[in-house]
Amino acid sequence: MTRCSVLVGLALACVLLSPCLALADSAGKLYEKGTALLSQGEFDGAYEAFRQAAKADPENQEYRQQTALVRQVIKVRKRLGEEKDAQKWGKMANALRTFYHDNQVYGEALKIDREAHDRMGTGESAANLAETQLLAGKNAEAVELVSGLSPEIAIPRALAYLGIALARQGEIDRAKEIAGTLKIPVKAAAGLLFDCACLHALVGDKSGAAKLLTRCFEQTPPSRLDGAKLYAKQCEDLSSMVAGLEFAEALKTQSKVKESKCSGGTSCGKCPSKSSCSTDKKTSSSTKGKK
């Protein structure tokens, strides 16, 4: 009798749980479908898939956030074509570009970076375009782009990408020359340090690459450090040093950046953004451009 009860209980549990599991499973499949469509640049299809996933699993915050974000991106993409204000256009383009990179939609990122560089023609816009070209595997185009820049706008980041592109194409000597002459600012951003680390790794300077990687992680905010380390482990440009001791040591680096905990609401006193935190009524008048 007891064994029978246990078996009945188990059967009942399976019957009750299976729809939930099936739903979660289908939500997961829908989410994967959305991700795949997104990487192909199929925004409307991706949005629909994410929306269905969020409906199937309403408790899953990631599905809901991604759905809302893709919907916003679709709207911004439409608005971008109509925007006349250069500053606003730049901000929207930057937001879209970040989204495309985060979701590996490099085709769209290339389009927007090309348009941005055509509009602005700065070292920064050139570096952005070169970065996306490298991510999309268009090494030759990156070389052509950066090589054609005038010296005034050939910023270190752009030159780093040139070096990486050359190294990937087998032109190690030219890449080494760039690596040797590249002036890295003392307070360089984490992104530039990472790119320089990749360049040094590609030209065989593993020790230099490890040092740069260490500096990169020190400059990465704590909330993004795990992601940065994972990216470093998976980065093909660093693959030659992943098995090495220096790389393992670099991965142990802790962030030296003080990060605001504002989102979490704790520790306002220790918040590095406190001095710029707008709780003062005198600064409450909005300074952003209004319609």
Which residues in this chain contact other proteins in the complex, by CB under 8 A?
51, 54, 64-65, 67-69, 71-72, 75-76, 79, 91-92, 94-95, 98-99, 102, 224, 261-271, 274, 277-281, 284-286, 288-291
Pick 6 or 189: Cβ nearer other proteins: 189
Q: Which is nearer to other proteins, 239 or 273 (CB)?
A: 273
The per-residue b/e assignment along 245-262, b for 16 or more CB within 10 angstroms, e otherwise, is ebbeebbebebebeebbe
Cβ-based nearer residue to other proteins, 104 or 239: 104
DSSP class per residue in 248-285: HHHHTPPP------TTTT--GGG-TTGGG----GGG-S
Least distance between other proteins and beta carbon 61 (Å):
8
Exposure class string for 203-224: b at 16+ Cβ within 10 A, else e: bbbbebbbbbbbbbbebbeeee
Least Å from the CB of residue 286 to other proteins: 5
- Measured from the CB atom, the residue of 79 and 256 that comes closer to other proteins is 79
CA gap 37, 25 in Å, rounded: 18
Tokens of 290: 């209004």
- The minimum distance between CB 21 and other proteins, in angstroms, equals 23
Residue 80 or 242: the one with the smaller Cβ distance to other proteins is 80
Cα separation of the two ends of the chain: 76
The minimum distance between CB 73 and other proteins, in angstroms, equals 9
Nearest approach in angstroms of CB 219 to other proteins is: 13
What is the Cα 198 distance to its own chain's centre? Answer: 16
